[in-house]
Structure 1
Amino acid sequence: MVTLMLRDLRLALSGGGAATGLVFFLALVVTMPFGIGPDLNLLSRIGPAILWIGALLSTLLSLDRLFQADRDDGTLEGLLVGPLPLPLVVLAKCAALWCATCLPLVAAAPVLGLFLAVEPPALLAVTATLLVGSPALVLIGAVGAAVAVSLPRGGVLVSVLVLPLVIPVLIFGVTATSGAVSDPAPFTAPFLILIALTLFFGVLGPVAAAFALRAAGD
């Protein structure tokens, strides 16, 4: 499992896929103030939501590469019949994708938040919520990527399938961030729910994705 994770991580970093999401995240955040205007109060208020939406869209861009490359070169068939249980294969690939794609977004969020005049407490809250919530985005996306792996032009379909399912993660991530700015007390409940969503999909996502991969292989 660790070997598979390191292999996928090495391929993601060497192929430039990790940089694509980060560049998209940067472009979205930098151009947003030009579209909204110079109102710093407005930017500060909606900045955390913009960071979360940018991280979500950047993650969606990378989901089509989760299984497609392995299917194209025949590696996926070997993984299907290999000794490692398929849910663990999916979990390892999700962990590699999160390290290569989402972890740089989490690290860049506090810096890019300065472009949106986000206050320091909100920057810390955005970083914390992205750290615990972004794995759920990848785990949910793995199910959509597994469903679309055998379909032509499956990348668009992955986004269509996954986007409605990740809305709760987005809602609780933004709610927790807003709670940290307005009052420390409301931050705890949505933050814990965000952790619960990640743990829930950490169990359900690999199993559902493995079932979809088995169905696609048949």
Structure 2
Amino acid sequence: MKALLLRDLTLSVRAGGGAVVGILFFLAVAVVVPFGVGPDLALLARIGPAIVWIGALLSCLLGLERLFQADREDGSLDVMLMQETPLALTVFVKCVAHWLATGFPLVLASPFLGLLLNMSVKAVGVTSLTLLFGSPAIVFIGAVGAAIAVALPRGGLLVSILILPLTIPVLIFGVSAVYSAIEGPSPFLPPFLILIALNLFFAALGPAAAALALHNAGD
């Protein structure tokens, strides 16, 4: 599993820098939105957490269609299907590697984008915290769509269409936790704990569902 994790991380870097592409897209969202909203700094500060979360969500979708497609093209997927290690565990490790290569850099970049949106230091910190505990769930959900679309020649758009509705609860509780912390009167802990619960739920369900879809695609 360690070798698989290092392999996927290495391939992510050699494939053109998925982290760089995601951060650039993330930055583009944060830069373009103020032009549409206008120069109202108070409004930007108020909607900043939602903008950061939406940008991170869309950035996480980039490259998800290649999560298993490259393995299918070079024959690695057939080896994964035949090995003794449970396929769900293999999918889990691949999801972790994908998040480390694409999702974690977005968490690190979010404070800088928050400052561009005139967010307070507290809002920036809480937003980064919720992204850290919420963004992995997006990858685990995306693994299911990527596994379903692995046999399709152009499944990138299908992956986004399949998983985007499933990511809405993660987005809702992530943004709710931020606003509860910076505005109130609702407490921060309940939505944040629900966000962590969603992350754990999809960490357990996503790889298992993706493994089932890969077995069906292999048949």
Question: What TM-score, normalized by structure 1, do the two folds share?
Answer: 0.98
Matched, 1:29 2:26: no
Shift of 1:18: 2.2
> Partners in 2 of 1:18 and 1:85 — Cα distance?
28
Shift of 1:62: 1.9
Q: Secondary structure at the match of 1:199?
A: helix
Shift of 1:33: 1.1
Matches within 5 A, 1:49-128: 49-128=50-129
Question: What TM-score, normalized by structure 2, do the two folds share?
Answer: 0.97
* Superimposed CA distance per residue, residues 147-187 of structure 1 (whole angstroms, 9 cap, x where no aligned partner): 11101210000000000000000000000000110138521
> Partners in 2 of 1:213 and 1:147 — Cα distance?
7
> Partners in 1 of 2:35 and 2:22 — Cα distance?
21
> Partners in 2 of 1:28 and 1:115 — Cα distance?
11
What is aligned with 2:13? 13
Between stretches 79-88 and 166-175, larger displacement belongs to 79-88
Q: Percentage identity across aligned positions?
A: 62
What is aligned with 1:187? 188
* Superimposed CA distance per residue, residues 130-163 of structure 1 (whole angstroms, 9 cap, x where no aligned partner): 0000010000000010011101210000000000
* RMSD, aligned CA: 1.0
Letter in 2 for 1:33: P
Shift of 1:59: 0.5
Matched, 1:200 2:201: yes
> Partners in 2 of 1:6 and 1:46 — Cα distance?
38
Letter in 1 for 2:157: V
Letter in 2 for 1:126: T
Letter in 1 for 2:2: V
Pick closer, same or farther for the CA change 1:184–1:102 going to 2, 3 Å: farther
Q: 4+ residue stretches of structure 1 with deviation over 2 A? A: none
Shift of 1:83: 2.4
Letter in 1 for 2:37: I
> Partners in 2 of 1:52 and 1:124 — Cα distance?
13
What is aligned with 1:4? 4
Structure 2 gap ranges (5+): none
